[in-house]
């Protein structure tokens, strides 16, 4: 059975892989991520490649596939990354309240086949709509510190879930890893 290396320190990605029964180890990438692309789907694919390739080059693992992933939140063409503090989190959440935005996750898989690296990248996009949110709720969530390590300043799997009106697409993609698509991609790999 092939084993996997997750090139991420994300507790959410680790949890999704564990729940799906993957045998994996975690080796977070230390790469200084650089945005080199323009469109959201190209950005997340490239950032996930940077992470996966960084770990692959350091380890050159045999019989293991490196999984790199990156997630961004986009509203009207603007990328909303991880907020720098509570005020920026409040601004992001205020912008998204009562509106629909997109969550993109790029995934890159790097494995060795016949002594050479093979690289496959893909992305998923999910539309997320929030209910209108009153200022007191926004302030309380921003003060909780929960938004500070999350793209777009929220986690769909946590306390902020009460503000999600609907999603169109893969829920796990919003959490940070489209696990079903990942599994389908891995099934096509050579033995």
Provide the token pair at 82: 């991880």
Query: Which residues sit opposite 162 in a β-bridge?
Result: none
Catalytic residue among 70, 91, 134, 170: 70
Answer yes or no: 149 catalytic.
Answer: no
Give dist(CA 56, CA 59) in Å, integer. Answer: 5
Give dist(CA 9, CA 176) in Å, integer. Answer: 12
Provide the token pair at 154: 């929220």
CB atoms within 10 A of CB 78: 10
Catalytic residues: 70
């Amino acid at each position: 059975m092939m084993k996997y290396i997750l090139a991420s320190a994300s507790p959410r990605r680790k949890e999704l892989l564990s729940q799906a029964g993957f045998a994996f180890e975690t080796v977070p990438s230390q790469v200084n991520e650089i945005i080199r692309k323009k469109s959201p789907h190209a950005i997340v694919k490239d950032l996930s490649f940077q992470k996966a390739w960084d770990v692959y080059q350091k380890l050159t693992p045999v019989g293991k596939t490196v999984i790199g992933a990156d997630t961004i939140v986009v509203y009207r063409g603007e990328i909303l990354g991880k907020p720098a503090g509570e005020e920026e989190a409040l601004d992001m959440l205020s912008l998204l309240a009562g509106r629909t935005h997109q969550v993109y996750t790029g995934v890159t898989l790097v494995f060795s086949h016949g002594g050479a690296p093979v690289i496959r990248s893909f992305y998923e996009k999910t539309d997320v709509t929030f209910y209108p949110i009153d200022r007191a709720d926004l302030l309380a969530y921003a003060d909780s510190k929960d938004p500070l390590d999350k793209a777009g300043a929220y986690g769909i799997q946590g306390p902020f879930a009460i503000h999600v009106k609907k999603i169109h697409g893969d829920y796990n993609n919003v959490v940070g890893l489209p696990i079903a698509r990942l599994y389908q991609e891995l099934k096509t790999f050579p033995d």
